[in-house]
Structure formats: structure tokens, C-alpha cells
């Protein structure tokens, strides 16, 4: 059997180890090169930190009262119109019954006042008509009495002349004189009757004021009923407000109040957000803000999916610079002034896709990194 010398075996082993060492160095150089290229590529794009935000919706009471029940919990998904809380409404219901009773009472008064107005109006019209007819009769009698007096006066003067001439007897003269005096008295009586009839007509017409007063009373009662109806409508609205409902679909961020607590108008019961309203707020250094534009694409990274960025678009750029917030950290050198930038996500996602959507991954307050496709050097 052939065997190699010991020196040859040692040389062979050393050469083999050297070859493996060289191969490892080459592989390490390749890996290092790729890492450096990746880092340089990453560092060559503007990357800033941001935070997930969403518009908070306060679920607040519109009427005061004690909370009968609170139907939400932190993290609960609610639909638009769903009941969030119920406020005790016994006081409002009692007020409603009181108003309804007052309306019914006033309606009865209005009915009685209407009948009284009709009767009074009819009586006044009848009195005026009767007074005017009485006046017409009195005026006719006055004319007749004036005519009789004129005739009697002519006869009296004629018979007075005849008596002076002794053509007629004293007895005949006295009879004519008496007729004349009676005609004058009848005229005075007729004149007094006309005056009384005129006063009667005037008083009857003044009774119209009573009708107008009763009309005003009826109008005031009607206005009172209308005001009570408006109050009843407002009470019904407030009773509807005792059921606090979600204004839109969303997720309960925080439950603020508990059953039994007394809330005032505007008192917050819970806070919710609309998941589809989630967006990213970040701050861009002043020297790069000129390269950022609306609708510009940006990639958003988070710790849960570091290798799967979510694509968004710039939907807001502040027109005023501000000092760098303390919680904002940046890969770039910190500067004193920055501009707020808002990143929004598409509202419609592909329902057939199995990938997570931004609205499923991002939570309000979560820190993220935002990378813009602009060179920093």
C-alpha cells in the first residue's frame, strides 16, 4: 500500500485551509459590498420618522342626565347609527306629559272661547241691526211729528186771526190751540226718541270692541298652544337625544364615562376613530421641503412588517415652519425648523388581496418611518 510522506500531507492540508479561507473572504466581501450598497441606497433617500394619527370623534351627550347604560368598550367596532349610550329620560317624559295636558286644557278653552265669540258677535250684530231699525222708525216718527206740528201751527195762526175778527168761538180757538200744543209735545217726544235711538246704535256699535277683545283672547290662546307645541317638539327632540348614537362606522378608542354618571350637554361618553381616516404625520427638514409635492408617493415602514412598506401619498404640506417636535427622530441631521407633512392611504383596497391593508396594521399613536423618493446627497 502506497502512503504519502508526512510533509506532503501537511502541505496539502495547509493549501486546502488556505483555499477555504480565501473563498470565505471573497464571500464576505460580496456580502459586505451588497450591504454597503443597500445602506448607501437607503441612506441616499430621505427617511424621517412619523406617527400614525386619525381624527378623533367625541361621542358626546346633547342633553344632560344620568347615564342609564353605556354600550361600548375600548376597541369595539361600531356601525353608523348604533346605540352608544342611553340617558335616563324620566324627567323629560314627565315634562312631555305636562305639556300635553296643558295643550289639551288650552284646546278646551279655545273651543269655549270660539263659541263665546260666535255668540257675542251674533248678539252684537243683532243689536246693531235692531238699533238701526229703531233709529229709522224714530226718524220717521220725527218727520211725521214735524209735519203735524207745521199743520197745527198754521191752523193755530189762522184760527187766532179768526178769533180776533170774532169769526169763530173761543171754544173752537182753544181746541185748535190745544192741538197745536200737543203737536209740539209730540215733536219733542219724537226728537228725544231719535236721540235715544242714536245712542242705542252707538252703544251697539261700541259692542264690536267686545268682539275684538274676544278675538284677541282667542288669538292669544291659539298662540299659547302653538308655543306649547314647539316646546313639545323640542322635548321630543331631547328625548331622542337620550339615545347617543355613533355618527359613522368606526372603532372605539376609549370609553370615558360609566353608567350612573351624570353628564352635561357636550359631556364625552367615548372617543372613536374611523379606521379609514388613518394617516401619517411626519416632519420634513426645511432644506428638503421644496422637493416634496402633493400626491407624491411615499413608503411607510413599521416594526411589524419592516420589509413590506405600505405605499401612500402626500396629501397635506404645512405652509408654516415650526421647531422640530421632541418626539421626532430622523436619519438626517436634525435641524431647528421643519414642515409638517401628512401621508394618506388609498381609501379603496383590493378585497381579493391577502395582504394586510394599512388600516389593519396601523394603530393610532404607532411610530413609523417614512421614506420619500428624493436624494439626500
Q: Is the pLDDT of residue 43 over 60?
A: no
The domain spanning residue 215 has which CATH number?
A: 1.10.287.620
CATH code of residue 67: 2.40.50.100
Q: Indicate if 259 and 124 belong to the same structural domain.
A: no
> In terms of domains, do 157 and 255 share one?
no
Share of the chain above pLDDT 90, in %: 42
Confidence (pLDDT) at 40: 45
How confident is residue 345, by pLDDT bands cut at 50, 70 and 90?
Answer: confident
What pLDDT is attached to residue 321? 82
pLDDT of residue 95: 95
pLDDT reading at 87 higher than 90: yes
Same domain as 201, residue 101? yes
What are the pLDDT digits (tens) for 287-334? 888 889 999 999 999 888 888 889 999 999 998 888 766 555 544 444
The answer to whether residue 249 is domain-embedded is: yes
Asked whether residue 370 is assigned to any structural domain, the reply reads: no
Q: What is the mean pLDDT of the chain?
A: 84
Specify whether 150 is located in the same domain as 261.
Answer: no
Number of domains into which the chain is organized:
2
With beta carbons less than 8 A apart as the criterion, state whether 345 and 312 touch. Answer: yes
Backbone region of residue 344 per phi and psi (left: phi > 0; alpha: psi in -120 to 50; beta: other values): beta
Q: Is residue 364 part of a domain?
A: no
- Structural contact between residues 313 and 347, judged by C-beta atoms closer than 8 angstroms: no
pTM of the model: 0.60
- Of 154, 151, 157, which Cα lies nearest the Cα of 143? 151
Q: Which residues form the domain of 62?
A: 57-89+241-272
Does the pLDDT of residue 31 top 60, yes or no?
no
- pLDDT tens sequence across 151-202: 988 888 888 888 888 788 888 888 888 888 898 999 899 899 999 989 988 9
Q: How confident is the model at residue 26 (pLDDT cuts 50, 70, 90)?
A: confident
Of 154, 219, 149, 215, the closest CA to residue 182 belongs to: 149
- Within a domain: 209: yes
User: Which strand ranges, in their side-by-side order, compose the sheet holding 243-245?
Assistant: 243-245, 83-87, 65-70, 262-263
Q: How much of the chain is helix, strand and coil, in % rounded to 5?
A: 50, 25, 25
Amino acid at each position: 500500500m502506497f502512503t504519502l510522506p508526512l510533509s506532503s500531507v501537511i502541505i496539502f492540508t495547509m493549501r486546502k485551509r488556505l483555499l477555504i479561507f480565501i473563498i470565505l473572504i471573497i464571500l464576505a466581501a460580496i456580502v459586505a459590498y451588497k450591504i454597503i450598497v443597500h445602506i448607501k441606497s437607503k441612506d441616499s433617500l430621505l427617511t424621517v420618522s412619523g406617527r400614525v394619527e386619525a381624527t378623533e370623534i367625541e361621542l358626546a351627550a346633547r342633553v344632560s342626565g344620568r347615564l342609564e347604560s353605556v354600550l361600548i368598550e375600548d376597541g369595539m367596532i361600531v356601525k353608523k347609527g348604533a346605540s352608544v349610550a342611553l340617558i335616563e329620560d324620566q324627567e323629560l317624559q314627565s315634562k312631555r306629559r305636562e305639556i300635553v295636558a296643558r295643550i289639551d286644557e288650552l284646546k278646551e278653552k279655545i273651543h269655549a272661547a270660539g263659541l263665546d265669540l260666535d255668540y257675542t258677535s251674533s248678539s252684537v250684530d243683532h243689536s246693531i241691526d235692531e238699533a238701526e231699525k229703531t233709529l229709522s222708525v224714530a226718524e220717521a216718527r220725527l218727520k211725521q211729528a214735524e209735519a203735524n206740528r207745521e199743520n197745527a201751527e198754521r191752523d193755530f195762526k189762522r184760527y187766532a186771526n179768526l178769533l180776533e175778527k170774532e169769526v169763530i168761538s173761543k171754544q173752537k180757538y182753544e181746541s185748535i190751540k190745544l192741538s197745536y200744543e200737543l203737536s209740539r209735545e209730540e215733536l219733542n217726544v219724537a226728537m228725544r226718541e231719535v236721540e235715544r235711538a242714536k245712542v242705542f246704535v252707538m252703544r251697539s256699535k261700541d259692542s264690536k270692541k267686545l268682539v275684538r277683545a274676544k278675538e284677541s283672547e282667542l288669538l292669544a290662546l291659539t298662540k299659547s298652544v302653538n308655543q306649547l307645541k314647539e316646546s313639545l317638539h323640542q322635548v321630543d327632540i331631547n328625548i331622542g337625544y337620550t339615545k347617543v348614537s355613533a355618527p359613522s362606522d368606526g372603532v372605539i378608542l376609549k370609553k370615558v364615562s360609566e353608567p350612573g354618571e351624570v353628564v352635561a350637554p357636550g359631556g364625552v361618553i367615548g372617543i372613536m376613530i374611523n379606521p379609514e381616516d388613518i394617516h401619517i404625520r411626519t416632519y420634513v427638514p426645511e432644506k428638503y421641503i421644496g422637493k416634496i409635492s402633493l400626491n407624491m408617493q411615499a413608503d411607510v415602514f413599521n416594526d411589524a412588517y419592516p420589509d413590506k412598506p405600505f405605499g401612500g401619498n402626500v396629501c397635506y404640506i404645512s405652509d408654516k415652519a415650526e421647531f422640530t417636535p421632541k418626539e421626532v427622530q430622523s436619519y438626517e441631521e436634525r435641524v431647528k425648523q421643519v414642515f409638517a407633512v401628512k401621508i394618506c392611504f388609498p381609501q379603496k383596497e383590493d378585497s381579493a388581496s391577502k395582504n394586510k391593508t394599512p388600516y389593519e396594521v396601523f394603530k393610532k399613536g404607532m411610530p413609523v418611518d417614512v421614506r420619500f423618493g428624493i436624494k439626500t446627497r
